[in-house]
Structure 1
Amino acid sequence: LPLVWNRVTDHSPEGDQTENLFAAGDLNLMAGYQAMTLRSGRARHTLFVQAGAELPTGKYKADFVQAGLPPGFYPGSASIDPLAGIQYILSDSAWTAMFGASVKYSLPNADHLQEGLFWQAQTVVARSLGASGRWVPFAGLVAEHRNGYRKYDFLNEESAYSVAHGMAGMEYRGDRFSVGARFDHTIWQQYSTEETTNNGAYSVYVNWFF
């Protein structure tokens, strides 16, 4: 369950106005299947396919557009959204390279608002440190695109956007859990409204493996 802190600043002739939000996001439930595992010398090739749903646990307000807030400011969608993804992992005893893609299709919520189709592609390189290999620094690239949302039959094309991030972080891997932190720096962005810019993100996370 993500806890999200979003900060948006509106620059206007009357002065800057900043709005902050700290709230729970939508809960992702995913099931994965290891579709392939091959060994070639020291290298291991693994292919995972995933499917699941995003549940409406996050904070949501229907009037974010009227309030002048960008899409994604409120971390909830108030709808149950199907998810699917695929990951290819190339690894040896110390190095890991991951290439993945995922897609989310949003269903209309009770306010008849339907978020646009969202897809993400990423590549990450990681290196295990020390004899135990529990400390893992990583870096990579992430590309995202979201189509404009619909309300009833009206398509709001101004809510569409595309963003590319460079990211880096550190993770500690235990036997049944992992904890880490990462920073995403925006290297390219295209919003339908030129007034909107993405300033990147900081993330801290804990994963528990069942």
Structure 2
Amino acid sequence: MKKIFPALLLAAAVAALPARACDVCGYGPSNYNPFLFPHLARSYVSLSWSARSYRLLDHDGSWAQAKNNTLLLSAQYRLNSRLQLLAQLPFQLNEAHTQEGSTRSSGAGDATVLAQYRFVEAKRGNWRHTVLAAAGAKLPTGRYRSEAEKTAGQTFQPGSGSLDYLANAAYRVGYRNWLLGTSVAYKYNTAARDGFRYGDMLTAGAQLVFRLEGTRGALMPYAQATHETQFNDASGHVLQARTGGTALYVGGGLDASTRSITAGMSYQWAADQAIAGGNIQARPRLQAHVAFSF
């Protein structure tokens, strides 16, 4: 389990929150760049939970609050020493609270499938180097209703209604008990059947980990930073105002692992953000995970 935790730390949860106004930094179903730090270990199954919340500036000048809780079921099957297949399925509970009342939505979200290939794995003395890349698609399996079919109580939903394409690459270098991982990921979104297209997503991140060996396992404290860029949404090829933006998340966490089990938690906050022209404010986010390898 020495290498299982990086993939679990930043496996992105799909968030589907109200009013398709902004899909940046976890705010919306098209934000899905899984495996920012791709998994390098054996086959596994995992379950992770993430909680995110946002403040939204309404058209009348009042602030509303949106919350997203996601359970993410992930699995990887190792075909050989270089190639792995990965799949993820999120289950969501979304809430929006305004002066007029509260709205809730829950259900299975859009599934993602990826193929990951390890191009380089080298070791010289105490140094270790790894280069890998992955590509795949997010499938429109979650519930989605087009603009014409929506009612006031259905303005946020688990699915995006679109087939989207993902690619990422990562470089990891280790020295003794230290590990530094860097990566970049891009998500290309297509239009849903009603002509609405969420903006593409670009994510870059870095993570510094120290491994503390024990007689029965290991503890791995880490620090991490993630920068997310969301491009503007479009409806009928017309760019939408108050969409898109950027956010820089920083934080850290702790993982514990044995030979076949890894579990841990992480915490991140937005050190800098400019989301939807300042109309959305991202709050700190929390994540917990457990994985079983075989």
TM-score range, shorter chain: 0.7 to 0.9
Counterpart-to-counterpart distance in 2, 1:79 and 1:208: 31
Q: What's the RMSD between the two structures over aligned residues?
A: 2.9
| Offset from partner CA, 1:129-148 (integer Å, 9 cap, x none) | 23254332222100001111
Contact map agreement 1:147 1:157 (CA 8 A) in 2: no
Deviation at 1:97, TM superposition (A): 1.0
Match of 1:111 in 2: 194
Paired residue type of 1:102: A
Counterpart-to-counterpart distance in 2, 1:5 and 1:168: 25
**Are 1:41 and 2:125 matched, yes or no?**
yes
TM-score of the pair, normalised by structure 1: 0.80
Counterpart-to-counterpart distance in 1, 2:281 and 2:151: 18
Deviates more, 1:53-62 or 1:142-151: 53-62
Counterpart-to-counterpart distance in 2, 1:23 and 1:196: 24
- Write the mapping of 1:92-111 to structure 2, written as runs, cut at 5 A: 92-111=175-194
Match of 2:236 in 1: 152
- Write the mapping of 1:46-61 to structure 2, written as runs, cut at 5 A: 46-61=130-145
Flag structure 1 segments of 5+ consecutive residues without an equivalent. Answer: none
SS, match of residue 280 in structure 2: coil
Counterpart-to-counterpart distance in 1, 2:212 and 2:179: 12
Structure 1 residues 178, 29: CA separation in 2 closer, same or farther (over 3 Å shift)? farther
**Are 1:2 and 2:90 matched, yes or no?**
yes
**Are 1:201 and 2:285 matched, yes or no?**
yes
Match of 1:139 in 2: 223
Counterpart-to-counterpart distance in 1, 2:110 and 2:172: 27
SS, match of residue 169 in structure 1: strand
Structure 1 residues 28, 92: CA separation in 2 closer, same or farther (over 3 Å shift)? farther
Structure 1 residues 188, 59: CA separation in 2 closer, same or farther (over 3 Å shift)? farther
Residue among 130, 141, 145 paired with 2:213: 130
**Are 1:87 and 2:170 matched, yes or no?**
yes
Deviation at 1:31, TM superposition (A): 1.6
Counterpart-to-counterpart distance in 2, 1:125 and 1:150: 37
Match of 1:77 in 2: 160
Deviation at 1:75, TM superposition (A): 4.8
Contact map agreement 2:217 2:258 (CA 8 A) in 1: no
Structure 1 residues 53, 201: CA separation in 2 closer, same or farther (over 3 Å shift)? same
Deviation at 1:103, TM superposition (A): 0.7
Paired residue type of 2:114: M
Q: Which has the higher contact order (CA 8 A, sep 6+)?
A: 2
Counterpart-to-counterpart distance in 2, 1:174 and 1:74: 38
Paired residue type of 1:114: R
SS, match of residue 242 in structure 2: helix
Deviates more, 1:113-122 or 1:86-95: 86-95
Counterpart-to-counterpart distance in 1, 2:225 and 2:208: 9
Structure 1 residues 198, 6: CA separation in 2 closer, same or farther (over 3 Å shift)? farther
